[in-house]
Amino acid sequence: MQIYAELLTIGDELLYGQTLDTNTHWMSGQLDQLGIKVIRKTTVGDVREEMLQAFKEAEERAHITLITGGLGPTNDDLTKPLLAEFFDSEMAMHPEAQEEVSRYFKSRGREVTGLNLLQAELPIKCTKISNHNGTAPGMWFERNGRVFVSMPGVPHEMRLMMQETVLPKLQQKFALPVIVHRMIKTAGIGESFLAEIIKTWEDQLPAHIKLAYLPSPAQVKLRLTATGEDKTLLTTAIDAEVEKLLPLAHPYVFGFDEDTLESIIGKLLMEKDLTLATAESCTGGNIAHLITSVPGASAYYQGSIVAYQNEVKVRMLNVNQATLDAHGAVSEQTIIEMAEGVRKTLNTDIGIATSGIAGPSGGTEEKPVGTVWIALSDGEQTITKKYLMGKNRDWNIKLSSFSALNLLQRYLNGTWK
């Protein structure tokens, strides 16, 4: 039987755009790995009627309701009294919780105040969940086989409670299915074009394997989800589908699961024992930033010359002034000299370069905003690509960076065309 969960988040600050909720994202991933299906997430403010209504709806729909927030010691925090009301339960001081709150304060060299001791008062119908990263205990309620859990909204308090107590208890209580996920990561092709070239494969997927398209800037992720009872069988089935997919989606697939373009490039450069340098104009250092966001990038990355002026291109990258005069900075001739120049100057195997008009101004009829040249030089050849992107500066910078990384990835994988 499929077990359903709902996530309920309490707090005005989440409705007014002041706090970004990252809790439910993490909780979803944890529940998903246990085979528990999250069917709804709801956020309501610190308002009595809204909260009681949300409790009621969640209990009707889901086997498991996980609540975060509204557990602080101040008056505007309503979760505990309203859960007591919802489960028709008296409140009482919980001696073990009281001991834990006192210990928490002592361990930090502080005296516990009356307001904080009140946090140890709990509805008598709940089972206390210890909070080893803070003072507000969690609460576990059961009624008619359904589970309600209340946890603090502070991320590291909630996470530890989930890991120590809530997830293990859920696994004990419910007979959970087995779920296997596989993420296939593609770049350089839009969602609809990808859907067309893999349509025959998608149509033949067995009923217990579902496909989802997850588009993000310049990438489309394909997520396969297999549900059943036997992990080995599911893994075999999903592997077989990936094997069938690859010939169709090749050369757009660059990795799986946690891979990113920059992590894959790092792996390939290390495997092939190659070094890299970049020369950036329109991307303004963003490619360097992406490459160096990977731990250990210093093993293959020398650095970047961010040449935001023509004189820097001439002096640091040895671009010919004559080339700039004749063709301009945003041209195939210049981008070739930039890629070769940085490779030689920083003494690496591969040089990557970008030059373009990110906008919003600087465009001409011949070279409108969004015109971007990218090049890769390895000393034997220089590959160049021209793009016409949009009018949005941030987007052009991001897309140019991804395109350059993807060219490098395909060059290293031998799949560029």
Give the footprint of its own copies on residues 232-271 (CB under 8 A). none
Residues 62-91 that bind its own copies (CB under 8 A): 72-74, 76
Q: Cβ contacts of residue 37 below 8 Å, gap of 6+?
A: 2, 3, 4, 5, 31
CA distance readout (Å), 374 to 189, 240, 379, 383: 17, 36, 16, 8
Q: Which CB sits closer to its own copies, 108 or 172? A: 108
Q: Which CB sits closer to its own copies, 192 or 236? A: 192
φ/ψ of residue 208, rounded to 5: -90, 5
43 makes contact with its own copies (CB under 8 A): yes
Measured CA to CA, the distance from residue 387 to residue 384 in angstroms comes to 10
Q: Kindly write down the DSSP assignment for every residue of 132-149, as one continuous string.
A: TTSSSPEEEEEETTEEEE
Q: 198 - beta bridge partners?
A: none
417 makes contact with its own copies (CB under 8 A): no
Cβ–Cβ < 8 Å for 175, 189: no
Nearest approach, Cβ of residue 285 and its own copies (Å): 3
Which of 95, 247, 296, 414 touches its own copies (CB under 8 A)? Answer: 296
Nearest approach, Cβ of residue 60 and its own copies (Å): 11
Nearest approach, Cβ of residue 90 and its own copies (Å): 24
Residues 192-211 that bind its own copies (CB under 8 A): 192-193, 195-196, 211
Q: Which CB sits closer to its own copies, 61 or 244? A: 61
With CB under 8 A as the contact rule, which of the stretches 168-176, 245-253, 276-284, 403-411 interacts with its own copies? Answer: 276-284
Tokens standing for residue 35: 């085979």
Q: Cβ contacts of residue 355 below 8 Å, gap of 6+?
A: 281, 282, 329, 330, 331, 334, 335, 338, 372, 373
The three-state secondary structure class of 31 is helix
Element (H, E) at 255: strand 253-256
Which of 213, 248, 259, 332 touches its own copies (CB under 8 A)? Answer: 213
Residues 114-143 that bind its own copies (CB under 8 A): 115-116, 133
Nearest approach, Cβ of residue 15 and its own copies (Å): 4
Q: Which CB sits closer to its own copies, 73 or 251? A: 73
Which of 144, 232, 361, 381 touches its own copies (CB under 8 A)? Answer: 361
Residues 386-405 that bind its own copies (CB under 8 A): 388-390, 392-395, 397
Measured CA to CA, the distance from residue 298 to residue 247 in angstroms comes to 34
Which of 163, 200, 309, 321 touches its own copies (CB under 8 A)? Answer: 309
Nearest approach, Cβ of residue 414 and its own copies (Å): 25
